Every structure is written in C-alpha cells, then in structure tokens.
Amino acid sequence: MSRAIISAPSRGFTLIEMLVVLMIMGLFIGLVSAITQPDDRAILKLEADRMAQLLDFAATEARLTGKSIAWTADESGYRFWRLDDDGTWSEIRDSDLLRALTLPQGMMVSDFRVENMKPQGAMRLEFTPQGSSLAFTIGMALGKEHIAVTGSPVGDVRVAVPGEGPENGQVALR
C-alpha cells in the first residue's frame, strides 16, 4: 500500500518579500529624517530673523521709554542693556523679549561693522530715545553658511541673505 504524503500549503512570507519590505521601510525612515532636520542655512536664517526683530524692538523700546538701550555680543550669544537714570548700564533682565540669548551650537557673530567700519573693542550698538542710529551690519555664520543683519540710519532692520539679490532682506515689522 502506498501512502500519499500531502503537505499543507505554506503560509507566510518569503525571504525576498521580507527584504523588499525592510528596504522600503529603510528608505522611508531615511527620507523622513532628512526632511525633519533643518539645514544650517534654515537655522541661520531663523536666528537672523529673530535678531533683526529684537534689534527693531530695542530701537522702538528706547524711543518709547526715553532710555537708551544697547546691544552687545560675544562668542556665545548677545544681550541687551538699559541706561539707568544714574548713567550706568545694566543688563535687561525684566523683559521676556530683550533677555540674554545664547546662539545655537556652532553659530557665531562673525562680523560687526558700524558705518561700514569695524569698531574698536567690543561689539556694541546703541539705540537712543531720539531715534537716531548709525548704519550697521552684523554678520552671522553657521558652518559654511553666512548671513547679515543690516540696519539703516532711518531705522530699517533687514536680513540680507547672500546671493538673493539687492532686495533680498525682509524688513522687520514696526
């Protein structure tokens, strides 16, 4: 007597099918992680926009309060100062907007010019209650990317992105 061995049909996935699914998942994860991590240029532009808005706000605050406000920068960040009634400068700590800010890791203020000249000593800008100001340029760098925050004597503060033409900056809203 002969016995027939009948095997049940296999259920499951083949090795090829599993490898194709893993490859598709790997590509998807790689694409999502590349999209969600901003590049140096985007981070630099965000920080430059923030600085431009804060400088514009500091100038407005000086005019409204009648007290001079200064901006200073060092290798790790920047802060704002207010001229007290007794003639001394004190760091502004009571404002959420004009508080000391630390730049993201690797970012730095790479250039500072007032009236197109490098000032002697520390990086410092002053905003007076009279609203008068000097033209300035604050260069910022992160990796190989560079950007500039510029201010005109009439009070316009712009972010100038290299390579985007003369009307490249955006005016900080007043």
In the prediction, which pLDDT does 169 show?
Answer: 47
In the prediction, which pLDDT does 136 show?
Answer: 93
pTM of the model: 0.72
Which fold does the domain 40-160 belong to in CATH? minor pseudopilin epsh fold (3.55.40)
In the prediction, which pLDDT does 57 show?
Answer: 93
In the prediction, which pLDDT does 174 show?
Answer: 32
Q: Whose CA is closest to 59, among 125, 138, 144, 146?
A: 125
Domain ranges of the chain: 40-160
Residue 69's CB is within 10 A of a number of other CB atoms, namely 26
Give the dihedral of Cα atoms 162, 167, 168, 172; nearest 10 deg: 130
Per-residue pLDDT of the chain (174 residues; tens, 9 = 90+): 566 666 666 677 788 888 888 889 988 888 877 777 678 888 999 999 999 999 999 999 999 999 999 999 987 899 999 999 999 999 999 988 899 999 999 999 988 998 888 877 788 899 999 887 789 999 999 988 999 999 998 888 999 887 765 554 444 433
Rounded CA gap, 12 and 14, in Å?
7
In the prediction, which pLDDT does 6 show?
Answer: 67
